[in-house]
Amino acid sequence: MTDGFLKKITDAGSLRPAILAVMVGISLLLSLVFLISPDASSRKLNEVAASVEDSAARMERHDVMLSSKDTFYGTMSLFNLTGSDIIKITRKAKPLYNLASLQADTVLSVFTTEDQLERVEYRFNDFEVLVIEKDDNEEEGYSVSRVELPKEVRTERVSGVIDNSLYEAGLKAGAEPGLIISLSDVFAWDVDFASDIRKGDTFRILYETIYVEGRPVKTGSILGAEITNDGKTFTAVYYEDSKGRGGYYDLDGKSLKRTLLRSPLRYSRISSHFTNRRYHPIHKKYRPHHGIDYAAPTGTPVEAAGSGRVVFAGWKRGYGKYIVIKHNNSYTTAYGHLSRIAKGITSGARVEQGRVIGYVGSTGISTGPHLHYEVRVGNRLINPLSIKPTPTKSIHESELPRFTLVKQEVMGWLSDGDALVMAGSSEEKKGGG
């Protein structure tokens, strides 16, 4: 054991000169490197200092919520910008956006570096941002551009059951007011929303919503819809033909658009029906009532039931302010007791179906605000609710295969209600595959 221990010490001692030689070599090498590059350490220190300085000079963002009293000039004066520069920026931006017209409750985002202006962003609508940037290559010292925000179009579905009115049921289901009105437009030729709606009726809508930065900003077009009214189901499919002409069609490819609307008013109620014997509340006797009275608040818009030419617009005895429209076929429609006649509605004027021609009132012999609506075929007065106008057109035979594919897709989405996301040319179905 002693011999072994002594041997280890002897071996270690014999290694010492080699170890010392290696250490001396390393020291000489380090000295040589230092002599060749004497400022290496100082450069490293300078790089660290520059990094710290860059960090301190990072851009700061200031979001200013604007009030109705705030101006661009006054706001930018807070950021060490001279009056001359503010005027230059305002002048340069004017072709893209008038900075003298900042909107209340919007945000002006100002970016600065060491209290010097670098960039300004102003989102003046849901889809676009005005960008102002410091630019030494520009004569004014700033560049101005209008940048469109990336948007995403999603196809969504809403459905509901009607208790009182389509409008109330739609709001309860989460639909935007504009979407409900659009739905009534789609089925305006098949359903009179003033008289036909029954408790328990149902609706389903497939529609587009535009999202910007993950936030819904606008409800787009209706792609398809169904409404079941008094046990009968009406279906609408939006289809654009090969020439880009779009419209709503039923499942057989027949246009939903008819020669006459079912009603010239939205969301009113019928106070008097078409009859040969009605007790007149003013004359106090029974007499024919060959029209329909729609009770609605004064000022409610009245729409032309069909396209045609105005043959009378003015005062007519007991009818008060009165309009008569002759349509392209044998129909004539008349609208009485108006509070006023819309601008441009004069004898001889051409009107399109759905155009506002006047407003509900109580002129002439009337007990309260309502619209008296009449329809004639030739010279014969008929019940407006009995009209079954024919479709204005149908899908051309050559378009039917393509229409069938669109119809099947729309009906599939109406049935399952999953969300379809369309961004650019890509489509992605979310949910149940």
Domain residue extents for the chain? 60-148, 152-258+393-429, 269-386
CATH number of 152-258+393-429: 3.10.450.350
pLDDT in the model for residue 25: 55
Beta strand segments in 213-268, E: 215-229, 232-240, 246-249
pLDDT in the model for residue 280: 47
pLDDT in the model for residue 288: 52
Separation between Cα atoms, residue 96 and residue 124, nearest integer Å: 11
Separation between Cα atoms, residue 365 and residue 398, nearest integer Å: 55
With b for 16 or more beta-carbon neighbours within 10 A and e for fewer, the 361-374 pattern comes to: bebbbbeebbbbbb
pLDDT in the model for residue 269: 57
C-alpha separations of 412 from 224, 231, 403, 404, 419 in Å: 10, 21, 14, 12, 12
Q: Phi first, then psi: give them for residue 252, nearest 5 degrees.
A: -95, 0
pLDDT in the model for residue 53: 46
pLDDT in the model for residue 27: 53
Architecture of domain 60-148: Roll (3.10)
Separation between Cα atoms, residue 433 and residue 106, nearest integer Å: 40
Assess whether the region 60-148 and the region 152-258+393-429 belong to the same CATH fold. yes
C-alpha separations of 195 from 57, 75, 191, 252 in Å: 69, 56, 8, 26
Taking only the tens of pLDDT, the chain with its 433 residues reads 434 433 332 343 444 444 445 454 545 544 444 444 445 444 443 444 444 345 445 889 999 999 999 999 999 999 888 899 999 999 999 999 999 889 999 999 999 998 888 999 999 999 999 999 988 888 778 899 999 999 999 999 999 999 988 889 999 999 999 999 899 889 988 887 777 789 999 999 999 999 998 889 899 899 999 999 989 999 999 999 888 889 999 999 999 988 888 788 875 556 454 344 444 455 444 455 578 898 889 999 999 999 999 999 999 989 999 999 999 767 899 999 999 999 999 999 999 999 999 999 999 988 889 999 999 988 888 888 777 766 767 898 999 999 999 999 999 988 864 444 443 333 333 333 2
Which is it for the CA torsion 372, 373, 378, 380, positive or negative?
A: negative
Q: Which residues partner with 423 through β-bridges?
A: 426
Select from 269, 261, 321, 318 the least CA-distant residue to 296.
Answer: 269
Q: Are strands 321-327 and 331-341 parallel, antiparallel or unpaired?
A: antiparallel
Cβ pair 228, 242 in contact under 8 A = no
The helix, strand and coil proportions of the chain, stated in percent and rounded to the nearest 5, come to 25, 40, 35
pTM here is 0.62
Separation between Cα atoms, residue 128 and residue 385, nearest integer Å: 47
Identity of residue 298: T
pLDDT in the model for residue 161: 94
Architecture of domain 269-386: Distorted Sandwich (2.70)
pLDDT in the model for residue 365: 87
Separation between Cα atoms, residue 161 and residue 394, nearest integer Å: 30
